[in-house]
Structure 1
Amino acid sequence: MEVAIIGAGSWGTALGKLLAEKGAKVELLARRQEIAQTINERQENPFYLPKIKLPKNLSATCEPESLRKKKLIVLAVPSHALRNALKNLLDFLPEDPVPLVSTIKGIEEKTLATMSQVVREELPPKWHSYYTILSGPSFAEEVAKGLPTAVTIAGYEEEITKFVQQTFAANYFRTYRSLDVLGVELAGALKNVIAIAVGISDGMELGLNARAALITRGLAEISRLGVKLGANPLTFSGLAGMGDLVLTCTGPLSRNRTVGLRLGQGEPLEKILSDLKQVAEGVRTTSSVRALSQKVGVETPICNAVYKVLYQGQNPREMVKSLLARKLKEEFYLE
């Protein structure tokens, strides 16, 4: 099977390696010629996955013409880049739809659209039912090393979702399926905001009690907003919800946790983002979540507190004080 992966970052490269090892002919569509050339010449992506040897049946290009021949297309670009990517690639897509697999965890800032909504707005209707999303607790570096991982693949059509599930399943990469596309997308996007909050707490050395509280109450915020928007509440207790939240909030490979950690240690946001060299989706998503929660009338105090630190220059210590000083209430309540 011929597969295209739009995006040659760490996650696109890791999934490309997985599929190539299973026998697929994989082509990464890179944004920069330097990346494509290096992958083809060295069978390695030192820009995003250094020291990971890539299979010979994985190549890279900057030319989209070959998309027409692909039987599976993976979307692995930052959330803010998806809409333009689809606009630019529309004329190169296969005439007959093939499964689309999104690995993107974010919400558009201006439109507040999830990635499935962006796809529905930018691609013809015949493509809509072919959309799926792969999400869950999965660092690209660990997947590239073949370490045990479990993820959720959600789609609209059972048979297409099963096909994608089987395509990605490997002896170290276990795939579960779901029909709750919205819930999986929201869980994957919102957990990044909570990870920034946990990173701030860890950077200030507030302890493990505080970390556990933020993760748990963060999950409550994610669930409240997700259910309000129509998601299945069970999704948030699964791999795409709690699983990904725990990993992103505690794992040293988490870019979003790293942003929070360094903020908590007193570093300015501009320097942190400059040093990262990769996208920390939670920074943009924080703005989207605040606007979305206000729009639908759902309380998200942790996300709002992170917004004040990122966008209004609030001192992280004031963030903690504001969260602890909130009015006392029942732990479980309905909006």
Structure 2
Amino acid sequence: MTRAAVLGAGSWGTAFAKVLVDAGNDVTLWARRDELATRINAEHRNEDYLPGVELPAELVATHDPVAAVRDADLVAIAIPSQTLRENLAVWAADLPADATLVSLMKGVELGSTKRMSEVIVEVAGVPADRVAVVSGPNLALEIAQRHPTATVVACADDTRAIEVQKLCGTPYFRPYTNTDVIGCELGGAVKNVIALACGIAQGMRFGDNTLASIITRGLAETARLGERLGADPVTFAGLAGLGDLVATCNSPLSRNRSFGERLGRGESLDQAQEATHGQVAEGVKSCRGVLELARHHDIDVPITAAVEAVCFRGLTPAQMLELLMSRSMKSES
């Protein structure tokens, strides 16, 4: 039986740990709060993040990261993207030498503009082909409820990607493999920003034409940036591109979409954060990193720039709409 660890007991980390158990692995879930780990072990639930979901009795939670990763063949990391470097610096020395490291995070690091797999490679001191990425339409609650879904396991080493695919494949969770780590990670990071824009439009009571336009043009700017970074354009038509984008932009389960709705209704960033019990949507954290990355490569990302301006520069949702709609006319292609 394969030994797996998941570092991060939020909604997606807990859901992925459940997937790994259902796939037949011996799984330990690390929780930042000791009381949460205790409750998971006693109640087999994580009501803080996955209310109403019964967790497998075989899933063991711990507050001790060293115990979590001990003898693990696979270590999946599911923490807020902007905290990865700090946490991994503490954990790196205890990671098993041959373990596959799996990023469940979707973001671009502020300052360095590195993707999450790049941060893992740098901080953990491991080769890039030892790091895999899981991306796609990964709404955690639906997966935890065993709704059928497909996802992507991306790794530069196709053999390792296939190994991870086998370890997390279940009757309800169907992973596909890909070697385009850049495209899969970029699709996962930018879609959170585009979902904020869709939420803002929804909060302003605009309809499906508006949402479809934002989704489509958001995909276009993601693909432009991806092409410059060396991604395979086909990736953006797949699960880690269009699939993840559609789910995150349309679902009420999407924290980014819901957070954007509050902004669209006129709430400030602080008010929206307070209403969501201090949980900031990942797109809010990543929009500056994505924008910085795009500007470094001289790529035009108007929706990302507009979302960043609403979040951090005082632009109102109405001004955002005017800014986007008044751009010069051009060919779609």
The question of whether the paired residues in 2 share the 8 Å contact of 1:24 and 1:57 is answered with: no
Q: Compute the TM-score of the two structures, normalised by the length of structure 1.
A: 0.96
Question: Corresponding residue for 1:80?
Answer: 82
Question: Corresponding residue for 1:234?
Answer: 234
Question: Corresponding residue for 1:41?
Answer: 42
Amino acid aligned to 1:189: A
C-alpha distance in 1 between matches for 2:239 and 2:198: 19
**By how many angstroms is 1:124 displaced?**
2.1
Amino acid aligned to 2:197: A
Question: Corresponding residue for 2:178?
Answer: 178
Q: Spell out structure 1 runs of 4+ moving beyond 6 A.
A: none
Structure 1 segment 30-179 matched on structure 2, within 5 A = 30-66=31-67, 67-94=69-96, 96-125=97-126, 127-179=127-179
**By how many angstroms is 1:195 displaced?**
0.5
**By how many angstroms is 1:208 displaced?**
1.1
In percent, how many aligned pairs have the same letter? 44
The question of whether the paired residues in 2 share the 8 Å contact of 1:133 and 1:154 is answered with: yes
The question of whether the paired residues in 2 share the 8 Å contact of 1:8 and 1:31 is answered with: yes
Structure 1 segment 242-253 matched on structure 2, within 5 A = 242-253=242-253
Superimposed CA distance per residue, residues 173-215 of structure 1 (whole angstroms, 9 cap, x where no aligned partner)? 1111000001100000000111111111111112111111111
**By how many angstroms is 1:311 displaced?**
0.6
Partner of 1:69: helix, strand, or coil? coil
The question of whether the paired residues in 1 share the 8 Å contact of 2:121 and 2:131 is answered with: no
- Point out where structure 1 has 5 or more consecutive residues left out of the alignment: none
Amino acid aligned to 1:158: D
Amino acid aligned to 1:105: K
Amino acid aligned to 2:313: Q
Amino acid aligned to 1:68: R
C-alpha distance in 1 between matches for 2:77 and 2:163: 17
C-alpha distance in 1 between matches for 2:154 and 2:310: 33
Question: Corresponding residue for 1:298?
Answer: 299
Q: How many residues align?
A: 330
Q: Compute the TM-score of the two structures, normalised by the length of structure 2.
A: 0.97
C-alpha distance in 2 between matches for 1:207 and 1:102: 35
**By how many angstroms is 1:275 displaced?**
2.5
C-alpha distance in 2 between matches for 1:163 and 1:274: 41
The question of whether the paired residues in 2 share the 8 Å contact of 1:78 and 1:279 is answered with: no
**By how many angstroms is 1:65 displaced?**
2.3
Task: Between 24-33 and 271-280, report the one with greater CA deviation.
Answer: 271-280
**By how many angstroms is 1:92 displaced?**
1.3
